[in-house]
């Protein structure tokens, strides 16, 4: 019999194969991961809710299908950690906020439905920055998550719970959302793989909105192939989402199985380095570029001047959309209600509820966004930011006339200590320096490990950016890079969970 330690170290692809062949049962696999959660999550705090009974019921259903001789899907029986921003019928969805504490949604998000239809076993809901607003998972109303590489450091944000669950071997798959880098940034600092698909490629129906023109759900995993397998499960047109793209899902699994950069043109943007970048991050990035050249890629230097304005534009557009989206949390329809004792008006109840239910970062962004949208300031702030967004999109279009993909560091630094930037919002926002342009343009992007920074021995992420609807290029390049790294240096996350 395969022991639990061996099971939790398997990739998702290996796990699915063993379940389909009968070498392992889905219940065995699920129990092994639930035991791992019980053993280490008190230290990591990756999960906000563990659905033990629900997960085991899903696993039993998979085993029964196999016993009946039914064909199992490519991820049937594989456990997954779901970011607590997607609605799950009968299971709490808090979005990391006190304002939705205890809320049980009456329906599943489209993404949740697709996971269940594919027989993926949902272990529970992961911790996150409140309403996905943050770069460190320190803004969760339920406390921070630790980075399994060093529990005193952040696991990235806003989806730090999902990335930490992967790095701590509590799940082989996870789901995140990416508004300004919240899939890729956690992947980078935890040594995992995270993909932001093309905007509109994965349905947002049932995903609690932060910034509607930027938000995008996507796959998180420990290998490029695992991410591709999950990508194919969750992507595809959804008539319930008006921003959903009605186009075929690119052949991402095929690309991941046949990774190569031979003859590809790879762009390096000069704006993605300089002041604020950690020396070890730049060192590992330069080594990755050299590796790509060695593997047969042509390296092209690019100048995208509008990228320098991306951070400023993002922090006007995202808060503006958030101030509109979060207006629905009024204490009257659902969620927390404060002050409803017969002595307060409806307006006062709304004010008291928001004051108590929203955390400091959410309040900061609502105020900033409301100001940017107010009469007399709209054109100067929000309108100007949208013009910059257009310039950034044009810079990408020009770049992709010269190259097939663009590479950069995913984050300027490795994981920083918990609390280090808590009182400095601007320093916190700089963590998304390399990831934000992609969200503004709607392109596809991936982060994958490219080694450890020599000064602190913490993971560094390599970002790959592809044009919209060319998500398969991410997996083609990512698989080639991953294979070369594993051949030369091994993959530490597949061997043992660091610091646990």
Catalytically active residues, by annotation: 83, 158, 182
Contact 51, 91 (CB under 8 A): yes
Q: At what angle do helices 384-402 and 310-325 cross, to 10 degrees?
A: 130
CB 220 within 8 A of CB 159: yes
d(CA 69, CA 84): 34
CA distances from 444 to 48, 250, 461 (A): 29, 11, 16
Q: How far apart are the first and last CA of the chain?
A: 24
Whether the Cβ atoms of residue 119 and residue 76 lie closer than 8 Å to each other: yes
E strands in 96-143? 121-126
Pairing state between β 265-269 and 405-409: parallel
Task: Say if residues 91 and 100 touch (Cβ distance below 8 Å).
Answer: no
Query: Residues with Cβ < 8 Å from 336, sequence gap 6 or more?
Result: 98, 99, 100, 101, 353, 356, 357
Choose among 459, 450, 454: nearest CA to 484. 450
User: Which letter, b or e, does each residue of 147-156 get, where b requires 16 or more Cβ atoms within 10 Å of its Cβ?
Assistant: bbbbbebbbb
Strands lying side by side in the sheet with 193-196: 47-50, 121-126, 79-83, 173-177, 217-221, 193-196, 444-452, 459-466, 405-409, 265-269, 298-302
Q: What is the CA radius of gyration of the chain?
A: 21
| 3 state SS of 97 | coil
Bridge partners of 122?
A: 80
DSSP element (H, E) containing 219: strand 217-221
Closest to 72 (Cα-Cα) out of 25, 119, 26, 24: 119
Residue 138 · residue 115 · CB < 8 Å: no
* HSE value, Cβ hemisphere, 13 Å, CA-based, for 494: 18
């Amino acid at each position: 019999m395969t022991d639990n330690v061996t099971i939790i170290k398997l990739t998702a692809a290996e796990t699915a194969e063993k379940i389909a062949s009968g070498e392992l049962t889905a219940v065995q696999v699920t129990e092994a991961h639930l035991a791992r959660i019980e053993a280490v999550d008190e230290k990591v705090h990756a999960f906000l809710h563990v659905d033990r009974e629900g997960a085991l019921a899903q696993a039993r259903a998979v085993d029964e299908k196999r016993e009946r001789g039914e064909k199992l899907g490519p991820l049937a029986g594989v456990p997954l950690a779901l970011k607590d921003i997607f609605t799950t019928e009968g299971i709490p969805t808090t979005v990391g906020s006190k304002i939705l504490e205890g809320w049980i949604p009456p329906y599943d998000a489209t993404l949740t439905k697709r996971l269940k239809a594919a027989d993926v076993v949902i272990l529970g809901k992961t911790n996150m920055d409140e309403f996905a607003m943050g770069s460190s998972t320190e803004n969760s109303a339920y406390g921070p998550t630790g980075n399994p590489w060093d529990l005193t450091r952040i696991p990235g944000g806003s989806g730090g719970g999902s990335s930490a669950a992967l790095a701590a071997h509590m799940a082989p798959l996870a789901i995140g959302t990416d508004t300004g880098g919240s899939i890729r940034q956690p992947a980078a600092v935890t040594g995992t793989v995270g993909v932001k698909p093309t905007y509109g490629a994965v349905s947002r129906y049932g995903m609690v909105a932060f910034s509607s023109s930027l938000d995008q759900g996507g796959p998180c995993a420990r290998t490029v192939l695992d991410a591709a397998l999950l990508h194919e499960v969750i992507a595809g047109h959804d008539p319930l989402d008006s921003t959903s793209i009605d186009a075929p899902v690119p052949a991402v699994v095929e690309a991941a199985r046949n990774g190569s950069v031979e003859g590809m043109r790879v762009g390096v943007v000069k704006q993605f380095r300089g002041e604020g970048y950690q020396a070890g991050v730049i060192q590992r990035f330069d080594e990755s570029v050299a590796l790509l050249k060695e593997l047969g890629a042509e390296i092209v230097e690019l100048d995208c001047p509008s990228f320098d304005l991306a951070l400023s534009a993002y922090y006007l557009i995202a808060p503006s959309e958030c101030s509109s989206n979060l207006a629905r949390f009024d204490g009257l329809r659902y969620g927390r209600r404060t002050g409803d004792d017969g002595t307060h008006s409806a307006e006062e109840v709304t004010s008291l509820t928001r004051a108590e239910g929203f955390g400091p970062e959410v309040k900061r962004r609502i105020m900033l966004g409301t100001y940017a949208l107010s009469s007399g300031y709209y054109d100067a702030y929000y309108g100007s930011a949208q013009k910059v967004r257009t310039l950034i999109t044009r810079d990408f279009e020009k770049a992709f006339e010269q190259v097939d993909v663009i590479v950069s560091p995913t984050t300027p630094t490795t994981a920083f200590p918990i609390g280090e930037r808590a009182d400095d919002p601007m320093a916190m926002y700089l963590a998304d320096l390399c990831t934000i342009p992609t969200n503004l343009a709607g392109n596809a992007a991936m982060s994958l490990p490219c080694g450890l920074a020599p000064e602190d021995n913490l993971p560094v992420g390599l970002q790959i950016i592809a044009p919209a609807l060319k998500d398969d290029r991410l997996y083609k390049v990512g698989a080639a890079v991953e294979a070369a790294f594993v051949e030369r240096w091994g993959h530490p996350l597949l061997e043992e969970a660091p610091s646990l």
